[in-house]
Structure 1
């Protein structure tokens, strides 16, 4: 029996080490490649976003504002003409940047191009997006990102993989000394699980061995590893989807008002008004990105609130005017009802974010020719602001969880419509930071009512 256990132990050791090496190799390379690809995709998307704005207004103020937006970001932008003349840059140029800018650009696809992806050896990764007006390329938007953060992330990942690999080998060696015929079947099961993990199937389950020896510990460790890897994969996808969802709304308004501004017959006063809104939304995006990263990375967080006494009726009227074009485009009527002049202490930027999220949800889940109402009521101590739609509604089983971070009522439909489960979580965080309370009531198939309760000033 001892010889058989030794043979099985040696065979298991050799086989498990091979599986672990394959698993860690593919997992490591997959995570690294995926992260680098995400960084390049995000950098190119950011450049395309700037390019889209510049294609509408390729003038000095717009170029200046695009460069100014990047001064507070971890990326840099350089805007040039077709012949390479630099129109604006968000930071001082490095020799590598100048070398890239001097390269000839004969034909660049409309979706942009990655011009530098050697994160291991170069100081920056970079992309370029063409600015095309009337079918002519009039300039380029170059985006740069420092590779230091990427290299630090890869270095940290290597350390974690080395530590986990070392621990896995130690557990394997220890388990050899406790091999018997009784534990042969559990070992085979563990081998099958590790094979699945090496193929990227992190949803596998393992029957837990309740013994307190090394074999039981190894069983629980593999089970925990599968859960952690599955969780990491889901969180990464949800986090990227969340950023896309939260940025989509302000970018939609920027594009919409940019289209309005370039229409024929628009007066100078109207065009200036549209450009002012575009500038406000662009500034708002910078703050919104910071908030989304904070919400996605930490479990408990707080917002910086700058309270001021605001006429709530005027605030809501301005908000409704700004959002009505989006509702009208879908054939939905947006109404505002209030009884008297009301003043509240709020941070206007934060509360605009609250109502943009609420109204965006109502817009998604309402059909054409339906109505969305904003109603303001009050008593001696409190103000109640309700956003009411008559759309799809929320099932009773989901209603208690809709303010939870990353919770989605219908994952398949939410993904198609752009929802990520962060919008209402942000609403709840901001309202509670103001000392208020947000509640929801809904009837499936008849609509949803979200109510915000605030103290009267």
Structure 2
């Protein structure tokens, strides 16, 4: 555009180039507008390749130094240049050369400043986006961590009422919620099992203690003492089976222990329990009456 504008200004009459007096002022305004550097130059050559005008001031020798031997391209490949023919009535009167260093075109200070500003803005936007995403993702994780601390302190009734758009976070929260419910069930089952095991062990221990004390204190006859010892032996065997079951606790938790079911005569079972109770607490136990149906009553246990 600058070359075309200068070509229109220098078009003269009688097939001659004319350099208007205000051309320097025009070029100064344009160079100031384009913010060019010291490597910017304008040359006007006639048909004989003679220098008519230049900005900055140059000699004919400088023209040969800046242009190739055929005057069609810059001699130094570090420069870029455009040429515009000066014509009048379809007749070429000369040409206008506009040259500038490629470095100044590629690394314009304003362009570099704009690029730096854009780069910094992108960094800030990226950091801000990462900050918002990290806060959004860390919020449910912090709540899950707080819930985990509550479970560690023994509080299994945690409330994780979270609903995020991230599928992975929802799966994490749901898995943790199910884990807390499962842990609560296991804790309740453990307490119940411990109470049951304690009761089951306490009953035969109490019975054996009463039977042995009765034999030791000669409260019973020799025949009854032998019977008492047989009962105590059976109770000890039952305790042994229970201890073996406790040792197989891990296998039972893994589901690899089979439960053996047998037919049990309830009349005999209840009668034996009452008999052992009377022996152990003969002086303290109230009178117990056993009422059984006329027929035999069986159960599976």
Structure of larger gyration radius: 2
Bigger proportion of residues as strand:
1
Provide TM-score, normalisation by structure 1.
Answer: 0.32
